[in-house]
Amino acid sequence: MKFKMSTNVAVRTKDFSKAVDFYKNVIGFNVRSETHEEADIDANPLTLFVIKNNEIPGPVMELFVDDLEKAKEILVENGCKILRWRGKGQDCYIEDPFGVKFNIWEE
């Protein structure tokens, strides 16, 4: 199984408007699109997705895999905790043994 780092990072926060304002006006990133619950922000070379959320707060990095279910099996066997697993094409969040959160995405 090969894991590939994505350039997408989710910033999940209950303070959505404050977070968007911070990344736009303090840091100076360009907001490409925004709804009332999600913003797509150009943080070249990364893309930040600011998401209104109370359930799984904090930054979430993303890993691409060829086989989502095999990746899940390997990660759980190696000490990762499933935070949310909705299947292919949807959120599949894990927390590694060191507290880092990832969305696992099948390419």
Please state the rounded mean pLDDT for residues 60-70.
97
Cβ–Cβ under 8 Å, residues 106 and 79: no
Q: What is the pLDDT of residue 45?
A: 96
Strand partners, 52: 13
**Domain ranges in the chain?**
4-106
Chain-centre distance of CA 102, in angstroms?
Answer: 6
pLDDT of 54 above 90: no
4-106 belongs to which CATH class?
Answer: alpha beta
Q: Enter the pTM of the model.
A: 0.89
